[in-house]
Amino acid sequence: MARMAGTAARAEALVGTPVVSTTPVAGGDICTATRLRLTDGRNAVIKTRPQAPAGMFRREAEGLRWLGEAGGVPVPEVLGVDDECLVLAWVEPGKPTPELAEQFGRELAVTHRAGAPHFGADRDGYIGLAPLPNRPLPTWEEFYASRRVMPYVRAALDRGALTSDEAATIERLMRRIHTYSGPAEPPARLHGDLWSGNVLWGAEGRVWVIDPAAHGGHRETDLAMLALFGAPHLQRILDAYDEAWPLAEGWRERVALHQLHPLLVHAVLFGGGYGARAAASAQSLLDGRG
């Protein structure tokens, strides 16, 4: 098997174990992923990006460790990290099944229920390559409007991904967010970027999560993100979650609210119709159609 000398040397310096072979891993447009076989029999994956945004890989490693401490959904072990790469234990991929989906739903409830000290995080982070303000605020409504939605409304407007009318619609909703946010809940321990591509269905019978934008937030946010771009056996996940930790009445009507932030992130990063879709979601809530 081929051995990419530069990648192998970087991994060896971080992990402290010689690399036998390296294999490129398909997928991912932000980082280059390479599978490593180590001399001690372990397999790992190294994610690299030259001139990565400051602290990006370190924030990811911190988020993984914090989520792993919850004892719910498993995360790959962090084997090494520096400013331009992250080395994780390899998760052998498997196939999604209804049984695994139910297990994932129950374990996600455990992760969320582990809680967080506040709405936000001690340091700012990233969602993909996009900056993620995390400075804590007293309530989820304040945090979501001020740290998640409005910064991306302004950025999308600057990039031409939102019209001024669309931005005004979202801003109007944020001024009235308490009307739509449902019962108050304590900060949950969130993954923060839980779309299906960050969910690994492992061959050994567990579902793992990767690439977090971890912070203390509202648990419905992770569930709404799972639904936004589709996830295998989504209804089984949601039913198992709701059985393990029942969701507050009306949570389905709040999905559009929790999807605003990821839609705006996509509007900033990719343009297209994501800005209009975010504004339409906001308008549906204002019209009572959320």
d(CA 77, CA 65): 8
Active-site pick, 82, 158, 193, 222: 193
Q: Decide if 165 is catalytic.
A: no
d(CA 98, CA 101): 5
Q: Say how many residues make up the chain.
A: 290
**HEC profile of 210-243:** CCCCCEEECHHHHHHHHHHCCCCCHHHHHHHHHH
Do 218 and 140 meet the contact criterion of CB atoms below 8 Å apart? yes
Q: Would you give the end-to-end CA distance of the chain in angstroms?
A: 53
Residue 78 phi, psi dihedral angles, 5° rounding: -80, 115
Task: Classify the C-alpha dihedral 243-245-246-251 as positive or negative.
Answer: negative
Active site residues: 193
